[in-house]
Amino acid sequence: MNQVQQLDSSLERAVEAYNLATVKLNRVRADLKANHVQLRIAKQSLKRAQAALSARLVSLYTSDGQSDSLEVLLGASSLDDLVNRFNTANRISAQDSTVLGQVRHYDNEVKAREVRLKHANAEAAALVRERASEQASIQGQLAARRALLTSIHGEIAHLRAQEAARQAELRRELAARVAAQQQQAPAAAISSTVAPVSSSSGGSSRSGSVGPAPPPSHSSVVSVAMRYLGTPYVWGGASPSGFDCSGLVMYAFAQVGVSLPHSSYAQYGMGSPVSRDQLQPGDVVFFDGLGHVGIYVGGGSFIHAPHTGDVVKISSISGWYASTYVGARRM
- Mean pLDDT by runs of 10 across the 331 residues of the chain is 66 76 76 73 74 71 55 58 58 56 70 75 75 72 72 73 82 66 51 42 36 51 92 91 95 93 93 92 93 91 88 90 94 91
- Give pLDDT tens digits for 36-64: 777 777 777 777 777 777 776 676 666 65
Task: Give all strands (DSSP E) within the chain, no chain letters.
Answer: 238-239, 242-243, 272-274, 284-287, 292-298, 301-304, 313-316, 325-330
- For residue 220, the model assigns a pLDDT of 84
What pLDDT is recorded for position 115?
77
Which DSSP category does 318 fall into? -
CB neighbourhood size of 136 (10 A): 11
CA distance 82 to 92: 14
The confidence score (pLDDT) of residue 264 equals 93
Count of Cβ atoms closer than 10 Å to residue 191 Cβ: 20
For residue 74, what pLDDT is reported?
56
Q: CA-CA distance, 266 to 270, in Å (whole number)? A: 7
Nearest to 50 by CA among 114, 123, 105, 111: 105
Q: Which residues are catalytic?
A: 245, 292, 304
